[in-house]
A = this chain, B = another copy of it.
Amino acid sequence: MSKVSIRTPDIVIGRLPIYLRVLEHIASNGTRVTSSQEMGEHLGISPAQIRKDLSHFGEFGKQGTGYDVVYLRKQLQRILGLQQDWDVALIGAGAVGKAIMRYAGFRGRGFHIAAVFDNDDSKIGRKINNLKILHVNVLKSTIHQMGIRMAMITVPSEQAQKVADMLVEASVEAVLNYAPVNLIVPPEVHVQHIDPVVGLQHMTYYLSSYSTLTQG
């Protein structure tokens, strides 16, 4: 029996970007050293969990001292593959797409929108943020040519699945979907959803009488 290497749980991977965000926040205060205790307070997560999560990837701290903020941040960036920026394609140059194009928060956190597509002829050739809107019929060729591996979908719900199929066909491996529908893609393609309504609905449960009337 050889030792079996255990794959790091996805739920742990999902917390790493949050840890990274906290470290960026702490660093922006000029703080040089932090601890699992301090990070946990920012996040409402137990210090033990943070240490356990990090232990999947190595030893990054010093007993008695804690973690060097800059060093741990670099390590997390390396683990998440954020040493260089990733080119991302955006499909859908409507209101949401435009807002994302103009959103400054991607640069500096590992991402760069490198191509924009739409199917509305009247939009093709126009520029958003100095980037020409391309027709979706050149999506596959452009994505291949540019070596793009990630995409964001900002088209209306009815068209989201069709766009997802095109992206899969173009060998895109990761999709951030802003349309409030659940995409069906092959298992090797990663999908994350951005749906503000889901977050709001989650919270209304606790604000409405249901939880308090029927439970604690």
Residues of A within 8 A of B (CB): 5, 7-8, 13-14, 16-18, 20-22, 25, 41-43, 78-82, 86, 88, 95-96, 98-100, 102-103, 105-106, 109-111, 149-150, 152, 173-174, 176, 180-182, 184, 190, 192-211, 215-216
Contact = CB atoms under 8 A, between A and B. Distances in A.
Given A22-B182, A43-B182, A80-B205, 4 more contacts: A80-B204, A105-B197, A109-B197, A193-B199
B81 A209 contact: yes
B16 A201 contact: yes
A95 to B, nearest CB: 5
Contacts of A180: 21, 105, 109
A81 B214 CA distance: 13
Given A99-B99, A196-B176, A201 B5 contact: no
23 contacts: A5-B215, A8-B211, A16-B201, A17-B195, A17-B198, A21-B180, A41-B184, A43-B182, A79-B205, A80-B201, A80-B208, A81-B208, A81-B210, A88-B200, A105-B180, A106-B200, A109-B197, A110-B200, A110-B201, A174-B203, A176-B199, A193-B199, A194-B194
Nearest to A78: B210
Contacts of A202: 13-14, 16-17, 192
A111 B205 contact: no
* Complex copy number for this chain: 2
Contact of A196 (B42, B194, B210, B211): B194
A204 B81 contact: yes
